């Protein structure tokens, strides 16, 4: 299977001391890859590096055959790389509909941007009902759907998703995970899923990566991680 995202020996951080150290991950096209690990392991830093917010001091990221050092951050979304950060980044003063339209504002093919918007409304039925509500009126689950929906309006090939379950009821988390599975199966979307909620993430993931202190310590199939008690006890604490 070809890999749409190749992270090769990446070192990156915020100052002199790197957070990520020699991180290599290969994400096969059309799969969900869970990135797991304790607080401070470097998961968010990894996503920031992939979406160009942090520059690697060593190593290389290749997205869809293109070396990201050669791509401007603002062009990443056009190439098909979308990042939904932790905290979600919904514009609370704007309505649901306005937030979603922001996701497709840059697109030249206006007809397809409208189609993508309709598809997102079909996918997230609660957003349809809340179309005219302001962002600040939404529940946590609705905001997470909105952040996801806004990224999907851009029709990404790869979705970088940071802690989508944060603060959500288990039922809502399960809905979001089911949706990711549906998107993978129906559209071939690739997802890099950062999660503290290990069980939820492994319930949908194909691949699993465990990080500790800025390094990748395990990289295997999600099935292996689900089934191997020793591995789970050692790295995931359950
Ligand atoms: P969490 O689940 O708590 O977000 P994480 O695995 O995503 O954990 P990161 O947020 O990537 O971990 O943090 C990794 C390390 O980088 C931590 O030691 C943290 O203190 C440090 N760090 C994170 N953000 C910054 C920043 N803006 N400036 C300096 N150091 C930072």
Q: Which of 155, 190, 211 is the last residue of a domain?
A: 155
Q: Whose CA is nearest to atom 28 of ligand 1?
A: 14
Axis-axis angle for helices 110-123, 170-187 (nearest 10): 140
User: Pairing between strand 32-36 and 18-28?
Assistant: unpaired
Beta-sheet pairing, 58-63 with 66-67: antiparallel
Tell me which of 107, 133, 155 is where a domain ends. Answer: 155
Same-domain check for residues 18 and 67 = yes
pTM (2 decimals)?
A: 0.93
Residue 47 sits in a domain whose CATH number is: 3.40.50.300
Per-residue pLDDT of the chain (238 residues; tens, 9 = 90+): 799 999 999 999 998 889 999 999 999 999 999 999 988 999 999 999 999 999 999 999 999 999 999 999 889 999 999 999 987 778 989 999 999 999 888 888 889 999 999 999 998 889 999 999 999 999 988 998 999 999 999 999 999 999 999 888 898 899 899 999 999 999 999 999 999 899 999 999 999 999 999 999 999 999 999 988 888 888 787 7
From ligand 1's centre to the CA of 196, what distance in Å? 14
Residue of minimum CA distance from atom 9 in ligand 1: 42
ipTM score assigned to the predicted complex: 0.94
Nearest CA to ligand 1 atom 26: 14
Cα gap 27→170, rounded to integer Å: 27
Which residue stretches of the chain are H helix? 43-50, 76-79, 96-102, 110-123, 125-129, 140-152, 170-187, 198-204, 222-227, 229-236
Pocket of ligand 1 (CB under 6 A): 14, 19, 37, 39-45, 196
For the CA of 45, the nearest atom of ligand 1: 11
**Is the same domain home to 30 and 50?**
yes
CA of 38 to the centre of ligand 1 (A): 11
Ligand 1 centroid distance, CA of 97 (Å): 32
Q: In DSSP terms, which residues pair with 191 in a beta bridge?
A: 32, 159
If you measure from the C-alpha of residue 125 to the centroid of ligand 1, how many angstroms do you get, rounded to a whole number? Answer: 34
Q: Tell which atom from ligand 1 comes closest to the C-alpha of 47.
A: 11
In sequence order, what DSSP letters do the residues of 56-68 get, joined into one string? Answer: -SEEEEEETTEEG
User: Other C-beta atoms within 10 Å of 227: how many?
Assistant: 10
Supply the range of the domain harboring residue 227: 1-80+157-238
Sequence-separated (6 or more) residues with CB below 8 Å from residue 229:
none
Among protein residues, the one with the nearest Cα to ligand 1's atom 31 is 14
Q: Is the separation of the CB atoms in 106 and 145 below 8 Å?
A: no
Question: How remote is the CA of residue 20 from the centroid of ligand 1, in Å?
Answer: 10
Q: Which atom of ligand 1 is nearest to the CA of 42?
A: 11
- The tokens describing 145, both together, are 């759907």
Same domain, 108 and 67: no
Cα-to-centroid distance, 22 and ligand 1 (Å): 16
What are the DSSP E strand ranges found in 118-187?
158-162
> For residue 191, what are its two tokens?
């997802």
- How many structural domains is the chain composed of? 2
């Amino acid at each position: 299977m070809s890999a749409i995202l190749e992270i090769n020996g990446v070192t990156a951080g915020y100052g002199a001391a790197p957070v990520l150290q020699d991180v290599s991950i290969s994400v096969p096209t059309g799969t969900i890859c869970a990135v797991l690990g304790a607080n401070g392991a470097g998961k968010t830093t990894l996503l920031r590096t992939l979406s160009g917010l942090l520059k690697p001091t060593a190593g290389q990221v290749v997205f869809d055959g293109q070396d990201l050092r050669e791509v401007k951050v603002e062009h990443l979304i056009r190439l098909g790389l979308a990042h939904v950060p932790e905290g979600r980044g919904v514009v609370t003063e704007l309505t649901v509909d306005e937030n979603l339209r922001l996701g497709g504002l840059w697109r030249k093919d206006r007809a397809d941007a409208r189609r993508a918007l309709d598809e997102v409304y079909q996918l997230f039925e609660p957003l349809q009902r809340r179309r005219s509500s302001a962002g600040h009126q939404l529940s946590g689950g609705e905001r997470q759907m909105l952040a996801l929906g806004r990224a999907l309006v851009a029709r990404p090939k790869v979705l970088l998703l940071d802690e989508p379950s944060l603060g959500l009821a288990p039922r809502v988390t399960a809905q979001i995970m089911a949706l990711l599975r549906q998107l993978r199966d129906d559209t071939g979307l690739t997802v890099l899923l950062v999660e503290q909620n290990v069980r939820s993430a492994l319930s949908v993931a194909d691949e699993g990566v465990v990080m500790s202190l800025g390094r990748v310590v395990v990289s295997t199939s999600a099935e292996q991680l689900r089934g191997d008690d020793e591995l789970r006890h050692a790295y995931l604490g359950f």
